[in-house]
Amino acid sequence: MPRLEKSDLQKIVGARIQKLREERGFTQVDLAGKIEGVFDTTNVSRLESGRTNPTLYNLHRIAEALEISLSELLDISEE
């Protein structure tokens, strides 16, 4: 399969975050609230829709809030 472009990677990871969030019955506001420290709900929406290129630390904080490891959050081998 071809190289994953930046925007495609963002979309895949964003869709994965959304799927994991919905599986837990969280709204975007819920998720932002569970994330350690400051995290704007606007950012949840942007990340889930793949509009931005998230940082390591934010991915880590999202994984924490979803109670999953960073490695599992970024396991996109099924995509």
Whichever of 45 and 68 has its CB closer to DNA, that residue is 45
CB 31 within 8 A of CB 65: yes
CB 48 within 8 A of CB 28: yes
72 binds, among DNA, a copy of itself, none (CB under 5 to 8 A by kind): a copy of itself
Name the residue with tokens 């995290």: 39
68 binds, among DNA, a copy of itself, none (CB under 5 to 8 A by kind): none
Rounded CA gap, 60 and 2, in Å?
Answer: 27
Would you tell me which residues interact with a copy of itself (CB under 8 A)?
3-4, 6, 9-10, 13, 36, 53-57, 59-60, 64, 69-72, 74-77
